[in-house]
Amino acid sequence: MAIRVPADVRFVEEAIELMARHCFAGAEPCRRTSFRLRVLLAEALTNSILFGSGGNPSRSVRIGAEVTDQSIRLQVTDDGPGFDPRDVPDPTAPGALARPIGRGLFLIRNLADRVEFNEQGNTIWMTLPRS
């Protein structure tokens, strides 16, 4: 399943719930997995809207999910220039706690079982168990 949403944070919650219903159709996820999916999508989608698409609602962000009996692989893609995830500072490093960047990516890396980016840095894939 894949959907496109305008690059407007007002659509984040509705997009997350639509994707969650699709990903958990016919399955009863544990509360932790349900929480993880929602936070992963919220962080990745918000970052794509604000940074990748510049918050311009005339642009869009694509959200996709590949679902198997065992796992969910989420994809979020924007049409922005991308970034190098290796350049995002660790927000838990000394002196970095006050910086406003890196927290979303930190959460994603700690909640997903696997995180991947395309070479351009405008697509993120996040994998987690389905149950």
pLDDT 10s digits, 37-69: 999 999 999 999 999 999 999 999 999 999 999
For residue 95, pLDDT over 80 is answered with: no
Distances (CA, A) of 120 to 29, 74, 77: 33, 18, 11
What's the mean per-residue pLDDT of the chain?
93
**Structural domain boundaries in the chain:** 2-129
pLDDT, tens only, 96-129: 666 767 789 999 999 999 999 999 999 999 999 9
Strands (E) in 28-91, as ranges, are 60-67, 71-78
Domain 2-129 has CATH 3.40.50.1100: no
The pLDDT of residue 26 = 87
pTM score, whole prediction: 0.92
